[in-house]
Structure 1
Amino acid sequence: MDRRGLVLGGLVGVGAMASDHPARAAGKAGPAVGAPPRGVNVRDFGARADGATIDSPAINKAIDHAAALGGGTVYFPAGTYACYTIRLKSKVTLHLDQGAVILAAEPTGVAPNGYDDPGPGAGNAYQDYGHSHWANSLIFGEGLNDIAITGPGLIWGRGLTRGHRFADDPPDVSGPGVGDKAIALKNCRNVLLRDFKILRGGWFALLATGVDNMTIDNLIVDTNRDGLDIDCCRNVRVTNCTINSPWDDGICPKSSFALGYARPTENLTISDCYLTGNYEMGSVVDGSWKTMPASFHGYGRIKLGTESNGGFKNVTITNCVFDHCYGIALETMDGALTEDIAISNITMRGLGFPPLFLRLGSRMRGPAGVPVGKLRRITIQNIVSYGATPQPSIIAGVAGHPVEDVKISDVYFHQLGGGSSELAKRNPPEADKAYPDPDMFGDLPATGFFIRHARNIEMSNVEIVTETADARPAFWLNDVVEADFFRLRLPKGPSFHLDQVSAFRSFGSRWIEDRRFDETVSQTF
């Protein structure tokens, strides 16, 4: 088991204790939203809402009835609806009223007492099982248009698995009747997800693949693995969400090969969201906000990748808060083009990884013959990070394939520091094909930024502060062409280590002599 699996396995019980109380999880959801909408009431089709009777057959009848009428709203009054797979239909909204809980029932392993068959997976060779199947979910839709799920009720994935690598889950996640996602959508358009909560979402609280024109607004996701996975999607807005995902990523755009072809995720906006991995699962939904042990470093971040066959284009991330989780990661590993990314107005506290991780790699998990991808045209501004790991932020390509056109301005990074002079001498491995995470290179010889295989890097109004003295240079550059640094405030000690760097400028910085090198240089100052 890998390091992450060991941590996850050891803390499963903590989250489970907080999640096994549906009344508590749903009862503090906030004020009622007014009179129920007109439409189809699931109780009229035989749903018992007693938490024991399997209500999904009745619910699916209600959905079919609404669809046959040309669309409408399927209404869930207060109560706990134990379910296997609920199958969405075009032009149908599910509305969960205050106190309504859709509960993922435990599968029995005997048909029909379980979730739908996962079906074939076109891209199984290029991404893991969870990305490649959709039907084996609590709520599922494929090839639909004009669908919605609205709140303020709760979707509780108590009976879902989160994957084979975790000790508390079945050894065969593809077994009969096993479900692994709270909501899965494939090849849909015009989707609205608003005002509800997801507790214990399984492998993914939401997996949306090939979905166009989707709005995700005002969700609370309190889960045991990934929060919102947006894969091969276009024209997506994620706003006003609270996501607690201690054991995996919070918002995770991807561009996998799960559709059987490469499709980018593009025209994506993420704004006004709160990301954390610092709270026991269930305690965010119920309002108790119980923190994890101080030694635990939760995930909870925003990460583009690692699945990246189709790439990412036209993405904005703004006005978000990161609280005791990991930072922002932009990763293209499988031959795709990732470009035109704007990140702004972010605050971060207590990060277990550095604030920024930009990685162009050559894992190439996809069809043969695809060249190494590109990571370019990235702007990052107005970022405050306090109390982050001693690891520096990372901008790293591979030899012959630089990360290009990165502009970083108006940032304040407070690091724990403490790096030694011996560590400052280290030349980390390339690790071109390794799984991309900030610890992939081991401990690094810089305090603020580690930059390797890059072109056209500009930083201005950047301040690096360390909690304890650090002997490493603030910036470590290797194989970099065109690097401009303006108005820096850095810790005492070496400011730059340059190795095979050309077209370099640094000026206007306090306590640092202005310097310019047009030729290739290797020096420390």
Structure 2
Amino acid sequence: MVKANDIRVTQPKQLDEVSTQLFQQAIDKCSATGGGQVYVAAGTYTVGALVMKSGVELHLSQGVLLRGSVNHPEDYKAGRGIITAKDAENIAVTGLGTIDGQGFHHNFQRYGNNQGNRPHAIFMENCRNVTIRDIHIRNAAWWTARLFRCDGVAIDHVNIYSHSIVNNDGLDIDSRNVTVSNCRIDSDDDGICLKSDDPNFMPENITVTNCIIGSNCNPIKLGTSSYCGFRNVTFSNIVILPPTKSNVWDWSKEYREVPKGQLTGLAGIAVEAVDGGHIENLHFNNISMTGVITPIFVCLNKRNGVGSVKNLVFSNITAKAHGIIPSLISSIPGEYINGITLRDIIVEHVGKGTVEDAQTPLKENLNGYPENRMYGKTNPAYGLYVRHAKNIIVDNFQVRLQNVDARPAVVMEDVQDVLIDKLKDTSAQKTGTLVRMADCRDVLFRNSDTGVATPATLLKLEGKSTANIRCEFPIEKYVVKGEEVEPKAILEY
């Protein structure tokens, strides 16, 4: 940022309208005279919408408390956030100061889920070369920071705490050429959420790294809005923790085996294609999760048109989960999720699934709201469920149960071209089937280890269209169409 025309803002004797005018005059003058920094001295300021202009860096110094006005919507006619911008370039919000959205105020609390055009803490639209660095944001009245149709965004060392109201997402990114790094997010709704609201704008070339995320919903999420889709996205070196509080959700009331009062998110990683968009080339690597119910959730349905999901890699992930819905990948009949790699993954689940859970088919959901419970609040598998997919690699996938579970570790239905290598159940006690496959074809198992001292059912095959199943490892016992078959090194079905 050019600093030749720096302008200093100090705390006025009056707040609200006076503060807003003072800030806006400084921003306008800075931009009109060639750009530079608007430096905000320590103090408390209450403002409505501030409109950023090209070439301006708004620097909130340490000790600044910038409070959003609660005169909603009167004080936000100029924009959809406390700090807002449209069609600007080379803009920045920096400093160690704090933005407080005052979302606890009754003027905002009167709105329910997805209701009211409440202000974001930061909202930027159609901007180029945006930097958000070092600031603290708390108590947003809506999504905390919303970047819509921007090109070139750098978000670094931002600390977000939003537990004041429904829809308290952390970062909502609907932009391209984006880097997010070194952020700490603790939110009541989704943590870092990629959205795709414009069917003619593709959010792409996005990297998120070295972040710590706590969320009562989905810490990492792509969707639900997915009209164009997402392309070339990487999340790496992420720690997912339970949120520190929840003023909205108590998932123990809706999910089995979530302890009463337990703070937890839904899916640690959620990828949702439901609005006709195309999702491709995603990589999730080096991620540690606690405080989630479902470690990985991928869905494709036709809520607003049929899109596609292809080429997703999940690698080097560890997760300790609550509830009984495992990692879940599901499309709709006739449409296939294409190309999923699950490599070097270790998950620990509660267990306690019943025989009834194992035998209850997972219902289809062709156009429902995408979430891990969209197919029901249980699942026929305790480690991984895959349906309507092809080109699937499961390589060194390890599952550990805290309690005995009557369900198979892995269930696949209508899945093609599968490699399962080094699948392990490391639980102290194991019963039942390790893998059940129905209407699957072109499958190769190898190097898997049940770790069971006594004979156990390793593989159960069902369905008229099941074909070309090969196993390349020692088998103690396996079941084909409900009948036990003598052990043999290679099974061909």
If the TM-score is normalised by the length of the shorter chain, which range does it land in? Answer: 0.7 to 0.9
What is the aligned counterpart of 1:425 among 341, 346, 359? 359
Partner of 1:238: 180
Partner of 1:266: 204
The answer (yes or no) to whether the contact 1:507–1:513 under 8 Å persists in 2 is no
Partner of 1:379: 313
Partner of 1:205: 144
Partner of 2:489: none
Partner of 1:24: none
SS at match of 1:207: strand
Residue 350 of structure 1 and its aligned partner are, at CA, apart by 2.4
Cα distance in 1 for residues equivalent to 2:346 and 2:370: 25
Cα distance in 2 for residues equivalent to 1:334 and 1:218: 32
Partner of 1:115: 76
Q: How does 1:78-117 map to 2 (within 5 A)?
A: 78-107=42-71, 114-116=75-77
Call closer, same or farther: CA 1:78–1:523 in 2, change over 3 Å: farther
Matched, 1:314 2:232: yes
Matched, 1:77 2:66: no
Q: How does 1:184-203 map to 2 (within 5 A)?
A: 184-203=123-142
Partner of 1:157: 101
Partner of 1:367: none
Q: How does 1:23-422 map to 2 (within 5 A)?
A: 39-43=6-10, 47-48=11-12, 54-107=18-71, 114-116=75-77, 135-158=79-102, 167=110, 173-174=116-117, 179-224=118-163, 225-231=168-174, 233-246=175-188, 248-257=189-198, 261-277=199-215, 298-299=216-217, 301-324=219-242, 325-326=265-266, 327-351=268-292, 353-364=293-304, 372-422=306-356
Call closer, same or farther: CA 1:428–1:304 in 2, change over 3 Å: same
The answer (yes or no) to whether the contact 1:500–1:522 under 8 Å persists in 2 is no
Cα distance in 2 for residues equivalent to 1:378 and 1:502: 21
Partner of 2:398: 463
Partner of 2:385: 450
Name the aligned partner's letter for residue 398 of structure 1: I
Name the aligned partner's letter for residue 73 of structure 1: Q
Residue 409 of structure 1 and its aligned partner are, at CA, apart by 0.7
Cα distance in 2 for residues equivalent to 1:49 and 1:159: 24
The answer (yes or no) to whether the contact 1:238–1:271 under 8 Å persists in 2 is yes
Partner of 2:252: none
SS at match of 1:211: strand
The answer (yes or no) to whether the contact 1:255–1:262 under 8 Å persists in 2 is no
Name the aligned partner's letter for residue 274 of structure 1: I
Cα distance in 1 for residues equivalent to 2:105 and 2:32: 33
Name the aligned partner's letter for residue 116 of structure 2: V
The answer (yes or no) to whether the contact 1:221–1:242 under 8 Å persists in 2 is yes
Question: 1:54-102 CA deviation, whole Å, 9 max, x = no partner?
Answer: 4011100001110111101001100011101101000000000110111
The answer (yes or no) to whether the contact 1:220–1:241 under 8 Å persists in 2 is yes
Cα distance in 2 for residues equivalent to 1:345 and 1:171: 33
What is the aligned counterpart of 2:373 among 439, 445, 458? 439
**Farther-moved stretch of structure 1 (100-109 vs 436-445):** 100-109
The answer (yes or no) to whether the contact 2:103–2:142 under 8 Å persists in 1 is no
SS at match of 1:272: strand
Residue 515 of structure 1 and its aligned partner are, at CA, apart by 10
Residue 507 of structure 1 and its aligned partner are, at CA, apart by 1.4
Residue 437 of structure 1 and its aligned partner are, at CA, apart by 0.3
Partner of 1:486: 421
Partner of 1:286: none
Question: Structure 1 vs Structure 2: percent identity of aligned residues?
Answer: 32
Cα distance in 1 for residues equivalent to 2:412 and 2:120: 42
Cα distance in 1 for residues equivalent to 2:444 and 2:115: 56
Between the two structures, name the one with larger relative contact order (CA 8 Å, sep ≥ 6): 1
Residue 504 of structure 1 and its aligned partner are, at CA, apart by 1.2
Structure 1 segments of 4+ aligned residues over 2 angstroms from their partners: 49-54, 159-164, 166-174, 511-525
Partner of 2:445: 506
SS at match of 2:373: coil
SS at match of 2:402: strand
Name the aligned partner's letter for residue 375 of structure 1: V
Q: Which has the higher strand share?
A: 2
Cα distance in 1 for residues equivalent to 2:82 and 2:146: 12
Q: How does 1:9-28 map to 2 (within 5 A)?
A: none
Call closer, same or farther: CA 1:40–1:222 in 2, change over 3 Å: same
- Please report the TM-score for the alignment, with normalisation by the length of structure 2: 0.82
Cα distance in 2 for residues equivalent to 1:172 and 1:513: 50
Partner of 1:18: none
- Please report the TM-score for the alignment, with normalisation by the length of structure 1: 0.77
Cα distance in 1 for residues equivalent to 2:176 and 2:113: 34
The answer (yes or no) to whether the contact 1:345–1:383 under 8 Å persists in 2 is yes
Residue 50 of structure 1 and its aligned partner are, at CA, apart by 6.2
Residue 372 of structure 1 and its aligned partner are, at CA, apart by 1.4
SS at match of 2:197: coil
Name the aligned partner's letter for residue 267 of structure 1: N
The answer (yes or no) to whether the contact 1:50–1:80 under 8 Å persists in 2 is no
Cα distance in 2 for residues equivalent to 1:78 and 1:37: 22
Any gaps of 5 or more consecutive residues in structure 1? Answer: 1-35, 118-134, 278-297, 365-370
Question: 1:391-432 CA deviation, whole Å, 9 max, x = no partner?
Answer: 111111111111111111111000011000111001121111
Call closer, same or farther: CA 1:86–1:228 in 2, change over 3 Å: same
Alpha carbon RMSD of aligned pairs, Å? 2.6
Question: 1:432-471 CA deviation, whole Å, 9 max, x = no partner?
Answer: 1010000111111100111110001111111011111100
Residue 136 of structure 1 and its aligned partner are, at CA, apart by 2.6
